[in-house]
Chains A and B, each alone.
Chain A
């Protein structure tokens, strides 16, 4: 069962354009992480959001956690070729030793110069 729906799955844009990636679920998460992964490497953590309605900014990247903690979005302003990569959202659930991250399917972003 895919608990996190991430969209779009593929996105190809020109340098300078803006874009938004969505991560939606019917389940509540205690936190949500966004990762960026380049080919042949492990995912690198971009941000963690834990509070409903929370907004975090990382340079040109803006992350938002839904009020109900079921969805999140990543907005990139003025995309650059260096932003190219696989973006993954992952929801974390509390539960002591049963903690587990659930990943979305990922968004493969290509920013063309």
Chain B
């Protein structure tokens, strides 16, 4: 299957600082990437949909100014957690769909996730 690389795998930061997470599609182009948040033993919660060259679409309840998303190219999207606080500690996962997908609604491929701990 297609490869999506997420970096870093884990990060520890001090409260009040900002953290950037990168999501790259390595062997395909992705016009759309998705950012999720996951709590222990729970499912994925969609935070936002990132479209290349345009503003991200955020899900209800997700603060746009706190979770900044940039999708500058067809292979890279970034999520920046600004002024992080301990309650932002979580597992963040990105996914991407192949631009060449013929059937809309087909599979998306996931990065390996980023464990963020804010102390």
Contacts and interface: CB of A to CB of B under 8 A. Distances in A.
Interface string A5-48: 01000000000000000000000011101010000111111001
B44 A103 contact: yes
B110 A100 contact: no
Contact of B42 (A44, A100, A106): A106
Contact of B32 (A29, A33, A93, A99): A99
Contacts of B31: 97
B73 to A, nearest CB: 17
Interface residues of A, number: 30
Interface stretch (B11-19, B61-69, B80-88, B100-108): B100-108
Contacts of A100: 34, 46, 49
Interface in A99-113: 99-101, 103-106, 108
B105 A29 contact: yes
A10 to B, nearest CB: 9
B105 A99 contact: yes
A82 interface: no
Contacts of A42: 4, 6, 93, 95, 110-113
A48 B106 contact: yes
A104 B92 CA distance: 17
Contact of B106 (A44, A50, A86, A105): A50
A94 interface: yes
B97 interface: yes
Interface of B: 1, 4, 6, 31-32, 34, 41-44, 46, 49, 51, 91, 93, 95, 97, 103-113, 115
Interface of A: 6, 29-31, 33, 35, 40-45, 48, 50, 86, 88, 92-97, 99-101, 103-106, 108
3 A-B pairs closest in CB distance: A92-B105, A30-B105, A94-B104
